[in-house]
Amino acid sequence: MFKQKNYLALGAVVFVAVVLLSLPTRATARLKLAVASWFLPLFGLANAGQQLPADLADSVLPRRELLQQIDTLRRENQQLKSQAVQGAAIARENDQLRALWNWQKQAPWKLKLANVVMRDPANWWRTVQIDLGSRDGIQTNQPVLTADGLIGRVSTVGYVSSQVVLIGDPNCHVSALVENATHDMGVLTASGPLDTSLVQLSYLASSANLKAGQNVLTSGLGGIFPKGIPIGKIVDAESIEYGLATEARVKLNASLGALEQVWVLFK
């Protein structure tokens, strides 16, 4: 009787696991979001806990330092304003030239700031959760970036949070081009499990003319990432498949290990 109870319990656990694993993808995604929502109160508490020391530090900052900061911010603001005016003029000129050549107008990027609330607890995936969801207009496959460059795309959307799959994860492929004379194109694929700052640039032509330090940008192919978002810099390249193709290592501009705030790009 005692043994029978044990094996009944084992059978029940196996049954639940098999049922969960064989559910349709959509149902699993919904169930996953529902289970993940149990953690939302804890994330709120954790955020408040992280914010508290910063608030305390702000409240005891000396007046002189605050005035210095205001002065620096004013200067930066003026600089940025002049750059924005210059940028607007360049954009107008670009639009006029595009109209002359009957090219489609480039839509300006709309960005929304999000906080990174957690990382994937499993070591074999590279994802993070952000605190924006469908209530904020987030949809799957929206590009996510920092001020330094692209970091990934939205993979799953919940009501108040979303999962972002980062560059270097096997589920995040990015079509990229190298900023050189030949504009060599390749695909950013999975990297090693330990170093989050390096990714592989694969499917490059054998004639690719790559040098260390060359910039890597999104190519705009594939329809997910707009063209021209900075990704990183070439570290080194090697000829593979008996000289039929080239593969390069790219050092990412953004630090994936220290993400706190990110921008979600709306097209």
Contact positions vs another protein (CB under 8 A): 5-6, 9-10, 12-14, 16-21, 23, 28, 31-33, 35-36, 38-39, 42-43, 46, 117-127, 129, 155, 163, 165, 168-171, 190-195, 257
We find the least distance from the C-beta atom of residue 142 to another protein, in angstroms, to be 17
CA neighbours closer than 13 Å in the CB half-sphere of residue 150: 33
We find the least distance from the C-beta atom of residue 156 to another protein, in angstroms, to be 9
> Do you know the residue count of the chain?
267
We find the least distance from the C-beta atom of residue 27 to another protein, in angstroms, to be 9
We find the least distance from the C-beta atom of residue 25 to another protein, in angstroms, to be 9
What are the residues whose beta carbons fall under 8 Å from the beta carbon of 161, sequence distance 6 or more? 36, 40, 43, 117, 129, 130, 131, 132, 133
The pairing of strands 150-157 and 185-189 is unpaired
Q: Which is nearer to another protein, 126 or 233 (CB)?
A: 126
Q: Which is nearer to another protein, 87 or 170 (CB)?
A: 170
DSSP state of 98: H
Amino acid at 49: G
We find the least distance from the C-beta atom of residue 178 to another protein, in angstroms, to be 24
**Measured distance CA(8)–CA(6) in Å, rounded:** 5
Q: Which is nearer to another protein, 147 or 194 (CB)?
A: 194
Q: Which is nearer to another protein, 118 or 221 (CB)?
A: 118
Task: Copy the structure tokens of residue 256.
Answer: 């994936």
Q: Which is nearer to another protein, 120 or 179 (CB)?
A: 120
Q: Which is nearer to another protein, 193 or 228 (CB)?
A: 193
Q: Which is nearer to another protein, 127 or 175 (CB)?
A: 127
Burial class (CB in 10 A: 0-12, 13-18, 19+), 178: buried
Q: Which of 109, 185, 176 is nearest to 147 (CA)?
A: 109
Total Cβ atoms within 10 A of residue 127: 18
Q: Which of 180, 228, 230 is nearest to 205 (CA)?
A: 180
2-7 contact pairs (CB < 8 A, 24+)? none
Q: Which of 211, 213, 216 is nearest to 201 (CA)?
A: 216
We find the least distance from the C-beta atom of residue 20 to another protein, in angstroms, to be 3
We find the least distance from the C-beta atom of residue 200 to another protein, in angstroms, to be 11
**Measured distance CA(27)–CA(24) in Å, rounded:** 5
Q: Which is nearer to another protein, 14 or 205 (CB)?
A: 14
We find the least distance from the C-beta atom of residue 37 to another protein, in angstroms, to be 9
